[in-house]
Amino acid sequence: MAGAEKGAAAQTIIRPQPGPQMAFLASAADIAIYGGSAGGQNSMGALLFHPDFYKVAVSYAGCHDNRMDKIWWNEQWMGWPIGPQYSASSNVDHAAQLQGKLLLIVGELDTNVDPSSTLQVVSALLKANKNFDYLMIPGAEHNAGRGGEYADYGERKRFDFFVRHLLGQNPPEWSAMPTGSSQQ
């Protein structure tokens, strides 16, 4: 592929990554990532630990500090006892390093990853005076914004966030569009 063709291709590639998160390539300079649960931790971590590569992230229901998640789960990957490796991978402990654009989404009633994990990272971001977006979905579970009653809303929020911050454009006015129930 010639240089110009590669550039054109980079404008339209959607490149899935292994694991629970997905990376989107809008251009070679603007790479976005999103993920839920452990992928939510990883998507925010991409902005904290690899800001030279990732520029925009949407994090759903992230377990942002493995010391407060289900310890039996994390012991499998991080070992026991809890040591410096837990802090080294904590989004809470490294929140002040945030670069790029971040949207955090969490369900109020998540019973898989306690919403306080997201709230702790929100608190750390506020203390560090970092700019970010945050959405708590009332009554929603672990799949908040990805499934259940508010799946469409969550998808629009992610889409809008990427359109704004990768393409520099205003997304559609979704509330001005007819809904399925009003078209009947």
Question: What pLDDT, in 10s, does the model give residues 81-123?
Answer: 888 998 999 999 999 999 999 999 999 999 999 999 999 999 9
* pTM given for the model: 0.81
Is residue 134 in a domain? yes
Helix (H) / strand (E) containing 156 = helix 151-162
What pLDDT band is residue 27 in, cutting at 50, 70 and 90? low
pLDDT of residue 15: 38
Is residue 147 in a domain? yes
Burial tier of 169 (Cβ tally within 10 Å: 0-12, 13-18, 19+) = exposed
Is residue 68 in a domain? yes
* Closest alpha carbon to 131 in 163, 107, 109, 98: 98
Is residue 95 in a domain? yes
Residues for the chain: how many in total?
184
SS3 breakdown of the chain: % helix, strand, coil, rounded to 5?
Answer: 40, 20, 40
Q: How many domains does the chain have?
A: 1
Is residue 156 in a domain? yes
The residue-averaged pLDDT of 59-74 equals 86
pLDDT of residue 18: 41
